[in-house]
């Protein structure tokens, strides 16, 4: 497998993990939102678990991903010098 | 939703953060580049953590309300003891005469007035829910406190009050009450009086109070004779 293929596979894996973390956080936030609208003792439990637990796991997964696989920083826009060289 | 208060702010921020997290879930490639990383850091770390902490605080505050405690049917007869017509009934006398804040009546007497008293009260509340769903719920008259009621909770308000310390009954036993050698409940032994309260006459102002509490406000009720 060439280095380009390895890099593409890494990027794809990184995106998948990031996406999974984001889905968990989004699901946790939906549950937290519902629990805040519903006024009942059960809503408090719903907020803690699964709501806050999902957010915590998602945040931990996101932090783990950026800490263990620091992707090379891509510039948002090409540098002026590079443009000139093109 | 009252726009005058900031009740709408937390749900609105939650929706906005939800949108951001959803966008990053669908298009994780947005997290590339410097700006994308900053966006992901806020959307998947800073905002969710901050909003979860704010949500927890909101729930903790709401869990102190009388309406919250009485929303479980097991507590209904205890709620009824606040509304009985007999003013000498301990919970009714406190509730109807505003000796406890009506919107936080249960919490005012049943929290621990210690550093982590609120947290302990909430943990006990979580245990109630566990029993409600998964345990054997005792009959209304059989529900008891986990630990003996402490004078500390009574003295938090009554201690030092002139009517209390100069009261002819309390003056001679103040030291024993403060040391816990004697319990307030040794004399004031009629508390909620469940299940008898279900058969007692209800105070005329009860329905108005119940309505106000349902709306989450403090009640000031004029009782018509």
Whether residues A18 and B24 touch (CB distance < 8 A) is answered with: yes
Average pLDDT, chain A: 82
* Interhelix angle A53-68/B47-62, nearest 10 degrees: 160
Which pLDDT value is given to residue A81? 55
pLDDT of residue B221: 44
In DSSP terms, B84 is beta-bridged to B202
**A36 to B48: CB separation less than 8 angstroms, yes or no:** no
Instruction: For residue A47, give Cα distances in angstroms to A69, A84, B54, B57, B181.
Output: 31, 54, 12, 11, 42
| Residue B208 confidence class, pLDDT cut points 50, 70, 90 | confident
Judge: B52–A26 Cβ closer than 8 Å, yes or no. Answer: no
Distance CA B151, CA B184 (A): 6
**Which of B21, B33, B128 is nearest residue A22 as measured by Cβ atoms?**
B21
For an interface test with B, which of A11, A44, A45 has the most B Cβ atoms less than 10 Å from its Cβ? A44
- Kindly report, residue by residue over A58-81, the tens digit of the pLDDT: 999 999 998 887 766 555 655 555
pLDDT(A13) > 50: yes
Chain A 29-68, residues with CB within 8 Å of chain B CB atoms = 29-30, 32-33, 35-37, 39-45, 47-48, 51-52, 55-56, 58-59, 62-63, 66
Chain A residues within 8 A of B49 when measuring between CB atoms: 55, 59
pTM exceeds cut of 0.90: no
Q: Are A26 and A18 in contact (CB under 8 A)?
A: no
What is the per-residue pLDDT across B145-196, written as a single tens digit (0 to 9) for each? 988 999 999 999 999 898 888 887 888 899 999 999 999 999 998 889 888 8
At residue B16, the pLDDT reads 96
Model pLDDT, residue A76: 60
pLDDT value for B163: 86
- CA of B220: how far to CAs of B78, B97, B107, B164, B195, in Å? 21, 10, 19, 25, 27
ipTM value for the complex: 0.78
Residues B44-92: tens digit of each pLDDT: 999 999 999 999 999 988 889 999 999 888 898 899 899 898 878 899 9
What is the rounded CA–CA span in Å between residue A52 and residue A54? 5
Buried b (16+ CB within 10 A) or exposed e, B15-45: eebbebbbebbeebebbbbeebbebbeebbb
Candidates B224, B221, B220, B213; CA nearest to B68 is B213
Euclidean distance between CA atoms A33 and A79, whole angstroms: 42
Give kind and range of the element (H or E) at residue B153. Answer: helix B151-158
């Amino acid at each position: 497998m060439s280095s380009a293929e390895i890099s593409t596979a890494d990027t794809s894996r990184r995106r998948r993990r990031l996406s999974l973390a984001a889905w968990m956080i989004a699901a946790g936030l939906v549950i937290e939102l519902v629990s805040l609208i519903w006024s009942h003792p059960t809503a408090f439990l719903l907020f803690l678990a699964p709501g806050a637990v999902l957010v915590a796991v998602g945040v931990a997964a996101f932090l783990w991903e950026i800490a263990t696989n620091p992707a090379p920083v891509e510039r948002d826009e090409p540098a002026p010098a590079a443009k000139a060289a093109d | 939703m009252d726009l005058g208060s900031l009740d709408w702010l937390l749900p609105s921020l939650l929706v906005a953060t939800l949108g951001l997290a959803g966008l990053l879930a669908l298009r994780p490639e947005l997290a590339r580049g410097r700006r994308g990383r900053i966006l992901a850091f806020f959307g998947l770390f800073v905002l969710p953590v901050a909003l979860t902490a704010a949500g927890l605080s909101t729930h903790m505050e709401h869990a102190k309300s009388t309406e919250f405690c009485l929303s479980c049917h097991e507590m209904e007869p205890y709620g009824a003891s606040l509304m009985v017509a007999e003013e000498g009934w301990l919970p009714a006398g406190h509730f109807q005469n505003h000796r406890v804040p009506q919107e936080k009546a249960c919490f005012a007497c049943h929290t621990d007035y210690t550093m982590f008293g609120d947290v302990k009260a909430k943990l006990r509340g979580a245990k109630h829910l566990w029993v409600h769903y998964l345990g054997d719920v005792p009959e209304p008259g059989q529900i008891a406190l986990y630990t003996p009621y402490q004078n500390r909770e009574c003295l938090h308000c009554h201690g030092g009050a002139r009517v209390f310390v100069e009261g002819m009954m309390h003056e001679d036993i103040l030291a024993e009450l403060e040391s816990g050698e004697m319990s307030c409940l040794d004399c004031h032994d009629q508390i909620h009086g469940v299940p008898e309260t279900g058969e007692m006459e209800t105070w005329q102002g009860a329905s108005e109070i119940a309505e106000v509490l349902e709306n989450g406000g403090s009640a000031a009720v004029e009782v018509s004779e």
